[in-house]
């Protein structure tokens, strides 16, 4: 694949939902160590609601079809905001809504547009959560992924693969960090030695994209 179409972005969302469901227990265990043990359940419920909303918009109930990137990602983000109670709902919701809004009207994304769209999405996470790099949040998976994506230039397969491995490394790198944002920050130094659950779900999201793009 050299360009991502709306259909391929739908596949990304579906593959993400399936993998989050498969790995929900793992995400919940990570959250049990430094949070309130609901990240897996939150993400599984949210992504299942997104898949349902996309299916409904495919004409099943007469809802308008999602024919642009903006429409698809706006639906995705709004569904996450309304179906996930935890912090991750509004954060990922902002990500998808801003990502979509940055590509208003477009029906395809190349590597450069994908980088721009992810930058916009991550700016949405920052606008919502006010965290910075190194605070042991999902941003510590997103930032290295953005950098890797940019560094690969035009090759969408290489770029998304690099972003996925950078996110996985970013997830591991949260382990020694002390959380200063979100629920995990209540633990202070006791948050050290555990992977951040949101960084782990971000790595799943980017792994799913790399696999969809690789075909």
Q: Which of 93, 124, 129, 207 binds ligand ADP (CB under 6 A)?
A: 129
| Contact of 172 with 12, CB cutoff 8 Å | no
Per CB under 5 A, 170 contacts Mg ion = no
Binding status of residue 23 toward ligand ADP by CB under 6 A? no
Taking each helix axis from N to C end, the angle separating 88-101 and 39-55, rounded to the nearest 10 degrees, works out to 40
Asked whether the beta carbons of 170 and 146 are under 8 A apart, the reply is no
State the virtual CA torsion across 54, 2, 102, 119 in degrees, nearest 10.
110
**Candidate list 46, 86, 93, 121; residue touching Mg ion; CB under 5 A:** 86
The token pair that represents 211 in the structure block: 């696999």
Decide if residue 173 touches ligand ADP (CB under 6 A): no
Rounded Cα–Cα distance for residues 158 and 1 (Å): 10
* CB closer to Mg ion, 31 vs 135: 31
Task: Transcribe 173-191 into DSSP letters.
Answer: HTTTPPP-SSGGGGGGGGG
How near is the Cβ of 150 to ligand ADP at its closest, in Å?
Answer: 21
Helix or strand (DSSP H, E) at 4:
strand 4-5
61-90 binders of ligand ADP (CB under 6 A): 86-88
| Residue 208 interacting with ligand ADP (CB under 6 A) | no
> Which residue lies nearer to ligand ADP by CB, 38 or 70?
38
Distance between CA atoms of residues 180 and 132, nearest Å: 10
Options 138, 149, 164, 212; binder of ligand ADP; rule CB under 6 A: 138
Which of positions 20-59 make contact with Mg ion (CB under 5 A)? 31, 35-36, 38-39
Smallest gap, in angstroms, from Cβ of residue 48 to ligand ADP? 14
Which residues lie near ligand ADP (CB under 6 A)?
Answer: 31, 35-36, 38-39, 42, 86-88, 91, 125, 129-131, 137-139, 181-183, 196-199
């Amino acid at each position: 694949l050299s360009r991502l179409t709306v259909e391929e972005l739908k596949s990304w969302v579906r593959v993400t939902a399936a993998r989050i469901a498969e790995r929900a227990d793992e995400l919940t265990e990570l959250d049990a160590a430094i949070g309130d043990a609901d990240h897996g359940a939150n993400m599984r419920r949210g992504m299942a609601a997104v898949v349902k909303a996309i299916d409904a918009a495919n004409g099943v109930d007469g809802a308008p079809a999602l024919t642009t990137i903006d429409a698809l990602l706006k639906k995705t983000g709004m569904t996450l905001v309304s179906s996930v109670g935890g912090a991750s709902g509004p954060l990922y919701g902002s990500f998808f809504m801003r990502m979509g809004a940055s590509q208003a009207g477009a029906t395809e994304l190349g590597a450069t547009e994908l980088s721009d769209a992810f930058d916009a999405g991550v700016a949405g996470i920052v606008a919502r959560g006010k965290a910075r790099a190194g605070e042991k949040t999902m941003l510590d998976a997103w930032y290295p992924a953005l950098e890797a994506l940019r560094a690969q230039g035009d090759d969408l397969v290489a770029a998304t693969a690099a972003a996925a491995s950078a996110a996985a490394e970013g997830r591991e790198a949260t382990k020694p960090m002390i959380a200063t944002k979100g629920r995990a920050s209540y633990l202070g130094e006791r948050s050290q030695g555990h992977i951040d659950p949101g960084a782990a779900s971000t790595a799943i999201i980017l792994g799913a994209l790399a696999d969809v793009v690789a075909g």
